[in-house]
């Protein structure tokens, strides 16, 4: 899968000849902000923001520019490693989330961004080799807040961009579910990613379970 970049992706026209239905699956580490993003994409942000905890696979429905998006929210915890791929078949696009803010108490290989590289990209590629992945740096509001540099560090946008390019993700973008920043851009990117997804026309491989 090749990197296209967010600007070129957003310039794509929507292909009306492709199916009206799209399956969108969030993946990423525990507490990456997947549920918050899905709920915000669907204008369902609530003040119970702190208490989200996905213990199962959940779905939300969204209509965007003539396409019916079914948003599948998965749990990032390690305990769900074997359950998660069960929802991968016929995925149109993955939203791979990681928090741009990393606690210095977290072991380097346990951070969301490290897990994106070590766990989630290989997992998506294993089951769905040709399905596009949009890499999403979440909690972008924390970049402008006064994070305590001694306990946390913030990943620069340029690194997210670099990572997307190097790992063959379709594009990199940043959002804040809390601040509702970048949300419409994610909706627009999703529908435009359909062109890069496996279809009968493209002959690319769809997802398979082994």
Ligand X SMILES: Nc1nc2c(ncn2[C@@H]2O[C@H](COP(=O)(O)OP(=O)(O)OP(=O)(O)O)[C@@H](O)[C@H]2O)c(=O)[nH]1
Q: Can you give the binding site for Mg ion, defined by CB under 5 A?
A: 34-35, 54
CB of 41 to Mg ion, least distance (A): 13
Whole-number Å distance between alpha carbons of 206 and 88: 10
Nearest to 132 by CA among 14, 1, 22, 25: 1
Neighbours of 51 (CB within 10 A): 7
Give, as one character, the DSSP assignment of residue 32.
Answer: S
Interface with ligand X (CB under 6 A), residue total 23
Nearest to 121 by CA among 89, 166, 87, 152: 166
CB of 130 to ligand X, least distance (A): 25
Q: Is 185 in the site for ligand X (CB under 6 A)?
A: no
Contacts to ligand X from residues 86-125, by CB under 6 A: none
- The C-alpha angle with vertex 63 and arms to 58 and 66, in degrees rounded to 5, equals 140
CB of 27 to Mg ion, least distance (A): 11
Contacts to ligand X from residues 122-181, by CB under 6 A: 138-139, 141-142, 176-178
Binding residues for ligand X, rule: CB under 6 A, are 28, 30-36, 49-50, 52-54, 75-77, 138-139, 141-142, 176-178
């Amino acid at each position: 899968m090749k990197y296209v970049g967010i600007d070129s992706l957003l310039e794509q026209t929507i292909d009306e000849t492709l199916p009206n239905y799209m399956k969108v699956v969030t993946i990423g580490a525990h507490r990456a902000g997947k549920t918050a993003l899905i709920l915000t994409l669907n204008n369902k942000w609530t003040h119970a923001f702190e208490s989200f905890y996905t213990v199962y696979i959940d779905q939300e429905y969204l209509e965007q520019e003539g396409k019916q998006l079914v948003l599948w929210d998965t749990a990032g915890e390690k305990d769900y490693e074997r359950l998660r791929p069960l929802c991968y078949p016929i995925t149109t696009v993955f939203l791979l989330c990681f928090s741009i803010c990393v606690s210095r108490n977290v072991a380097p290989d346990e951070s969301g961004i490290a897990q994106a590289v070590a766990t989630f990209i290989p997992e998506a590629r294993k089951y769905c080799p040709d399905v596009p992945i949009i890499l999403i740096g979440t909690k972008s509001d924390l970049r402008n807040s006064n994070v305590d540099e001694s306990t946390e560090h913030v990943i620069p946008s340029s690194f997210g961009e670099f990572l997307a390019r190097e790992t063959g993700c379709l594009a990199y973008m940043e959002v804040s579910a809390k601040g509702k920043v970048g949300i419409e851009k994610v909706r627009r990117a999703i529908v435009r990613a359909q062109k890069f997804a496996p279809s009968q026309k493209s002959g690319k491989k769809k997802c398979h379970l082994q």
